[in-house]
């Protein structure tokens, strides 16, 4: 994998074929819930992808039987209890939406199982969103007092 993606520790990044970059939410034991670091990585990876001359298309999927269960319990608790973390998470979510929209590479999402929160935002903002019969699309943003992406 090019050094361009070496600093991404929470998202599994590989190339299943030439010019295809695959991003996998990779924590099957939590249904691929995103902690604070994974949330941050997901917000900013789109800038690197847009500047990657070796990538023509992006595929986003989840490991195991889930796409993404949204924010991890620890991350959600931190967002609800700490105003600084909440503000940072809101900024990252805004950046996630804008960076994905601004990304010049087409994005395909392959959703199965739960698709919630920031994972759902990525799944639905993709240029092509594919949901299997097992996909369960759920938006819990309003319970956190924020509008969905």
| 32-47 residue pLDDT tens | 999 999 999 999 999 9
Mean pLDDT, rounded, for 124-141: 91
Mean pLDDT across 21-26: 98
131 pLDDT above the threshold of 90? yes
Average the pLDDT over 13-32 and give the result.
97
Whether residue 102 is predicted with pLDDT greater than 90 in this model: the reply is yes
The Cα 9–Cα 83 span in angstroms is 26
Element (H, E) at 62: strand 57-62
């Amino acid at each position: 994998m090019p050094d361009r993606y070496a600093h991404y520790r929470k998202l599994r990044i590989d190339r299943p074929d030439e010019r295809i970059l695959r991003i996998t939410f990779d924590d099957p034991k939590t249904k691929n819930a995103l902690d604070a670091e994974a949330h941050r990585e997901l917000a900013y990876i789109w800038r690197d992808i847009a500047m990657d001359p070796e990538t023509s298309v992006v595929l986003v999927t989840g490991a195991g039987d889930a796409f993404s269960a949204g924010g991890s319990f620890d991350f959600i608790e931190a967002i609800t209890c700490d105003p600084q973390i909440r503000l940072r998470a809101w900024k990252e979510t805004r950046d996630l939406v804008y960076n994905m929209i601004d990304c010049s590479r087409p994005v395909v999402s392959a959703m199965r199982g739960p698709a919630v929160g920031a994972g759902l935002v990525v799944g639905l903002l993709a240029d092509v969103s594919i949901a299997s019969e097992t996909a369960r699309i759920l938006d819990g943003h309003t319970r956190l007092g924020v509008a969905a992406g």
